[in-house]
């Protein structure tokens, strides 16, 4: 019977879900309305119960006529695996907002099309799907991104067009796409009458080329000019692509002239996009240009806390020990995407190994990520790079001057020497003009403290670490 149920389930949940979750279940028994399976881990049982219970119960009922009340799971552990250690710290409570079930496809409608859109070209094929996690609720605001966030909120309010275009830029992984999707979600909910189109510049180009080839330029123009809100992500992609740029420029102008909202993102400021025509650049600059700064330690910690809540329901039972999130926020400062990747990996490790995630586990399973952020550098290189960065002489950096212009860079250089090399404090002290090692310790602490809420220092550190890491 279970085999027959399986057949039906496969059709219902899709091949991938079936192979990953249903197929590994070992049917054990069905009695007293309880259907029992053997599973390789708790994690797996929880997942199946959470996401596939209803489908399973329905199918069993359809095949046997029996009413099953619940599923039960026996973890079949290989004999040599030790029991789970007692968690020392409770995990943060799971988020209240449940994740949608994986069996349900992401919302199919890509755009908020009007009910009467029948007379117009359908937009849904032209846009890109919106990620349902990328909402304002899930966006953590901190000093580095507050301006971009405020601007996005304003545009998402859907009232009068106040700045047009809104142009957001930053290096990769700092939340541009997230904010654009959030705007789209919000507009969809609040202003279903507006036609909102979100797509990447790459997709824009693809459609343009296709329209050219299929002699559908009239439709193409009509389509893009009939939207109320146009969002084009990663505009740098069409830099150097002359005819696409030209078409984009016309679309863009037409929309702005009709006072339709345009929202754009790129990896640099408009003026720095190489291969972008000057005409376009100056139009891009005519609205509001905001950038997202590298994350601060505080923001990273906030994001991690939020992501733990968000991920928890998927990884029921995984707990994080004290200090793990702080450790990650300190050690992974490149971008939010890496931070998320690290966290997901830790959740998965915790779940599969059925143990509390603590700092040693994090160190071990993120070895590659952590190593790449601590490329071998010498104290010498650090000192020269810091002096360069602050535009002071190396002799002043190492010398006795106590003026803050020299003292702060000096402390930064001490801090970097401590965190980026394996040298001991007395070793470092020797290299800083034979100072006492407590002076070094003091300097390191000072920067550690400042780093928590001084955005400027955090940015200096990010730039310096990047410069040193790139050697």
Residue ranges binding Mg ion (CB under 5 A): 176-177
Residue 192 CA: distances (Å) to CA of 130, 181, 188: 15, 15, 5
In the complex, minimum distance from the CB of residue 288 to ligand ADP, in angstroms, rounded to a whole number: 17
In the complex, minimum distance from the CB of residue 200 to ligand ADP, in angstroms, rounded to a whole number: 10
The item of Mg ion, ligand ADP, none sharing an interface with residue 336, based on CB under 5 to 8 Å by kind, is ligand ADP
CB 134 within 8 A of CB 177: yes
In the complex, minimum distance from the CB of residue 326 to ligand ADP, in angstroms, rounded to a whole number: 17
Comparison of 17 and 177: residue with beta carbon closer to ligand ADP: 177
186-213 as b/e: b if 16+ CB within 10 A: bbbeebeebbbbbbbbbbbbebbeebee
In the complex, minimum distance from the CB of residue 52 to ligand ADP, in angstroms, rounded to a whole number: 26
Comparison of 136 and 163: residue with beta carbon closer to ligand ADP: 136
In the complex, minimum distance from the CB of residue 430 to ligand ADP, in angstroms, rounded to a whole number: 41
Residues that bind ligand ADP (CB under 6 A): 134, 138-140, 145, 170, 172-178, 303, 336-337, 340
Q: Which residue is nearest to ligand ADP (CB)?
A: 175
Contacts of 221 (CB under 8 A, 6+ apart): 250, 251
Task: Select from 447, 418, 450, 442 the least CA-distant residue to 431.
Answer: 418
Comparison of 307 and 451: residue with beta carbon closer to Mg ion: 307
In the complex, minimum distance from the CB of residue 238 to Mg ion, in angstroms, rounded to a whole number: 15
Comparison of 138 and 383: residue with beta carbon closer to ligand ADP: 138
The item of ligand ADP, Mg ion, none sharing an interface with residue 140, based on CB under 5 to 8 Å by kind, is ligand ADP
Comparison of 234 and 354: residue with beta carbon closer to ligand ADP: 234
Residue 407 CA: distances (Å) to CA of 388, 412, 436: 15, 9, 15
The item of ligand ADP, Mg ion, none sharing an interface with residue 170, based on CB under 5 to 8 Å by kind, is ligand ADP
Contacts of 159 (CB under 8 A, 6+ apart): none
The item of ligand ADP, Mg ion, none sharing an interface with residue 259, based on CB under 5 to 8 Å by kind, is none
In the complex, minimum distance from the CB of residue 332 to ligand ADP, in angstroms, rounded to a whole number: 12
Residue reference for tokens 């259907």: 35
Comparison of 176 and 293: residue with beta carbon closer to Mg ion: 176
The item of ligand ADP, Mg ion, none sharing an interface with residue 139, based on CB under 5 to 8 Å by kind, is ligand ADP
CB 299 within 8 A of CB 144: yes
CB 314 within 8 A of CB 48: no
Contacts of 196 (CB under 8 A, 6+ apart): 111, 112, 184, 187, 188, 227, 228, 229, 231
The item of Mg ion, ligand ADP, none sharing an interface with residue 173, based on CB under 5 to 8 Å by kind, is ligand ADP
Q: Which residue is nearest to Mg ion (CB)?
A: 177
In the complex, minimum distance from the CB of residue 60 to Mg ion, in angstroms, rounded to a whole number: 44
7's enclosing H/E stretch is helix 2-13
Comparison of 134 and 432: residue with beta carbon closer to ligand ADP: 134
* Alpha-carbon gap, residue 345 to 352, rounded angstroms: 11
Comparison of 41 and 138: residue with beta carbon closer to ligand ADP: 138
Task: Select from 316, 344, 308, 354 the least CA-distant residue to 46.
Answer: 316
């Amino acid at each position: 019977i279970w085999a027959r149920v399986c057949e039906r389930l496969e059709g219902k949940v899709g091949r991938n879900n079936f192979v990953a979750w249903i197929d590994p279940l070992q049917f054990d028994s069905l009695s007293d309305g309880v259907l029992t399976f053997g599973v390789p881990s708790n994690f797996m049982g929880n997942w199946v119960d959470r996401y596939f219970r209803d489908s399973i119960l329905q199918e069993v009922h359809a095949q046997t006529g029996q009413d099953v009340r619940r599923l039960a799971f026996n973890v079949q552990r290989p004999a040599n695996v030790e029991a789970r250690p007692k968690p020392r710290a409770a995990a943060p409570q799971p988020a209240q907002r449940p994740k949608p079930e994986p069996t349900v496809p992401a919302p199919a409608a890509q755009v908020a099309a009007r009910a009467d859109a029948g007379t117009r070209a359908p937009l849904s094929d032209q846009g890109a799907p919106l990620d349902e996690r990328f909402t304002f609720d899930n966006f953590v605001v901190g000093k580095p991104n507050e301006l971009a966030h405020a601007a996005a909120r304003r545009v998402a309010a859907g009232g009068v067009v106040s700045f047009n275009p809104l142009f957001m830029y930053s290096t990769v992984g700092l939340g541009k796409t997230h904010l654009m999707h959030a705007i789209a979600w919000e507009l969809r909910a609040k202003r279903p009458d507006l036609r909102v189109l979100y797509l990447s510049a790459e997709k824009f180009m693809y459609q343009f080329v296709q329209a050219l080839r299929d002699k559908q330029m009239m439709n193409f123009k009509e389509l893009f000019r009939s939207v109320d809100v146009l969002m084009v992500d990663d505009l740098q992609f069409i830099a150097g692509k002359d005819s696409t740029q030209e078409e984009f420029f016309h679309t863009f102008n037409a929309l702005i002239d009709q006072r339709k909202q345009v929202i754009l993102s790129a990896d640099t400021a408009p003026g720095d996009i190489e291969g972008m025509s000057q005409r376009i650049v100056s139009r891009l600059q005519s609205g509001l240009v905001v950038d997202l700064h590298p994350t601060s330690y505080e923001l990273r910690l906030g994001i991690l806390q939020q992501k733990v809540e968000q991920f928890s329901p998927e990884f029921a039972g995984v707990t994080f020990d004290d200090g793990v999130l702080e450790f990650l926020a300190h050690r992974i400062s490149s971008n939010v995407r890496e931070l998320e990747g690290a966290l997901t990996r830790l959740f998965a490790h915790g779940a599969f190994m059925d143990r509390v995630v603590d700092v040693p586990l994090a160190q071990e399973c993120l070895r590659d990520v952590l190593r790449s952020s601590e490329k071998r550098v010498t104290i010498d290189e650090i000192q020269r790079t810091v002096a360069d960065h602050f535009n002071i002489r190396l002799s002043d950096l190492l010398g006795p001057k106590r003026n803050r212009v020299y003292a702060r860079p000096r402390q930064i250089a001490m801090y970097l020497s401590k965190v980026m090399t394996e040298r001991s404090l007395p070793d470092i002290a020797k290299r800083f003009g034979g100072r006492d090692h407590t002076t070094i310790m003091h300097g390191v602490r000072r920067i550690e403290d400042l780093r928590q809420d001084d955005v400027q220092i955090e940015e200096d550190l990010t730039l310096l670490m990047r410069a040193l890491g790139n050697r």
